[in-house]
Amino acid sequence: MPNSLQDIISPLHNYLMALYQKYQSLKEGKVADYIPELGRADTDWFGISIVNTDGQIYQVGDYQQSFTIQSISKPFVYGLALENYGRETVLNRVGLEPTGEAFNSIVLDAKNNRPCNPMVNAGAIATTDLLTGEDSGARLQQILKMFHLYTGRRLDVDIPVFLSEKATGSRNRAIAYLMHNSGMISDRVEETLNIYFQQCSISVTCNDLAMMGATLANKGKNPITGEQAIKSHYVQDVLSLMHTCGMYDFAGEWAYRVGLPAKSGVSGGIVAVVPGKCGIGIFSPLLDAKGNSIRAVKVCEELAKDFGLHLYGAVEPTYDLAFSMQQPYPFLTATSSG
């Protein structure tokens, strides 16, 4: 059932609806089940949202369904660390190289003793350690405030997911203590781990992800509220790392096939950014063996192909995304003129 006039008349909405229907029947993959809360996800959940840099929103399916942000928090907290400390200090603690290893591997860059990049758990924990604030409450509030700027609404931590992440987080604890041992993170190891588990457990919708993506696409300024969520100076740092390391050890193939900076998380979300144009947020919890949402990857591949979104693409697209977005009512125009 359409929700508004725009739902009826926007050609982009109709396109997204067709894409949603095409992939809803795809039942491959499995939900993450390392904690019971994620294992209970409904395999039918599937939402797609696009927010463009003019602030127009297009959404279909379960775009209001909440899920935990998980690893999608990593690039945004990295941006916050850059704002707190600047490039040089952050670079001393977290590198810039893809690993080709699993996101939770216990590997540090042998030469510098630092995590390889901020998108693997080691790098994300080191990034979280860099957040300023006198106690864990103040540090968490800093993260929540940042997400408020990106999404335009207050987000909260899903407490049962946080407690489960904490109870089962031995591997992350091992990574953190290894980094502490080599002087890469401060003494407040347990506090930093608690904040990391909470940042992964923040509840979002795919519409929030699209807003976050649109804000990065719009030089760090939320296109609806007009608030600056991250200094424009650091947007390229965040997007570059998303481009090279954002999709687990599928990052290379993703860059080849889709060609957009993106980040995925184990609960089934993906945020992708089309610089200057829009943010795309997709949620569907069925994952492939590398931990990426199967439906979300397919949708992004198709969007990139049909609208010519690949950053290095040189082929005429099937549709013109700019046209669909800047004139959201061409169906009405066509009707009234003909």
- Residues involved in catalysis: 71, 74, 196, 248, 266
Contact (CB, 8 A) for 125 and 175 = yes
In terms of CB distance, is 104 or 240 closer to ligand GLU? 104
| Per-residue binding letters, 164-203, with ligand GLU (x by CB under 6 A) | -x------x---------------------------x---
Among 104, 142, 225, 240, interactor with ligand GLU by CB under 6 A: 104
Residue 43 tokens read as: 């395999």
In terms of CB distance, is 200 or 239 closer to ligand GLU? 200
In terms of CB distance, is 168 or 326 closer to ligand GLU? 168
Could you say which residues in the range 54-73 bind ligand GLU, by CB under 6 A?
Answer: 70-71
The C-alpha atoms of residue 295 and residue 24 are separated, in whole angstroms, by 8
Q: How many angstroms from the chain centroid is the CA of residue 122?
A: 18
In terms of CB distance, is 52 or 71 closer to ligand GLU? 71
The answer to whether residue 77 forms part of the interface with ligand GLU (CB under 6 A) is no
The answer to whether residue 265 forms part of the interface with ligand GLU (CB under 6 A) is yes
Contact (CB, 8 A) for 75 and 234 = no
The C-alpha atoms of residue 41 and residue 172 are separated, in whole angstroms, by 23
The answer to whether residue 249 forms part of the interface with ligand GLU (CB under 6 A) is no
What region, left, alpha or beta, does residue 26 occupy, with left being phi > 0 and alpha being psi -120 to 50 degrees? beta
Count residues binding ligand GLU (CB under 6 A). 10
Q: How many angstroms from the chain centroid is the CA of residue 188?
A: 27
Residue 138 tokens read as: 């103040």
Instruction: In angstroms, give the least distance from the CB of 97 to ligand GLU.
Output: 18
DSSP one-letter string for 211-231: HHHHHHHTTTB-TTT--BSS-
Residues that bind ligand GLU in the complex, under the rule CB under 6 A: 70-71, 103-104, 121, 165, 172, 200, 265-266
